[in-house]
Amino acid sequence: MIEHHHILKLVSEGNQISFRQLYDHYNRLVYNTAMSFVTDVSSAEEITQDVFTKIYRKAGSFSGNSTVKTWIYRITVNTALNHIKKNNRVRFLNHDNSREIEFNHPGILLENKENAIILQRAISSLPESQRTAFVLSYIEDLPRLEVANIMGVSLKATESLLQRAKGNLRGKLNKLYPHRRKK
């Protein structure tokens, strides 16, 4: 496969085969990242479709100042956050309380979905920048420097966001489960 930045140039020229190669290479990354933010299949699929529409439209604007992967992560994160804002809903909560909340993130196999839902609710309540840093670092398991590049902040700022996110999550979870605090 040719280098991805060259594929973006071909995509910008309307080459459908190159777009398909790019899609085949990155669709799981985009979908899994979307699932980390929204955790319901239909929203993740919608975000994935939106991301690849944006990639197709913006391929010619790729500057080469980052890797193609970082550029795609940036588009995915922004699209997921905009999706959440647009729909004005809290992630992982189903407004019809009579139905079970859907939690099917492909990267997480959990025996106890109830605990996963509680954790995801806590993550979704974090401020946007902390949530983004946390998801990319701990759910997507990206190196801190790559997280910094995706978010457009320094490595030090990323570390700070992660520390604040962990502190906020600890506080939220301790309020929910005061009896589970470590002695």
Q: What is the dihedral of CA 100, 101, 107, 110, to 10 degrees?
A: -60
pLDDT given at position 181: 53
| CA 52 to mean position of chain CA atoms | 15
User: Tokens 């190196």 — which residue?
Assistant: 143
Summarize the confidence of residues 12-34 as an average pLDDT.
95
- Type of residue numbered 102: E
The range of the structural domain enclosing residue 158 comes to 4-180
**pLDDT digit string (tens) for 129-147?**
999 999 999 989 999 999 9
The CATH number that applies at residue 113 is 1.10.1740.10
pTM above 0.85, yes or no: no
User: Tokens 């301790």 — which residue?
Assistant: 174
Counting the structural domains of the chain, the total is: 1
- Type of residue numbered 164: R
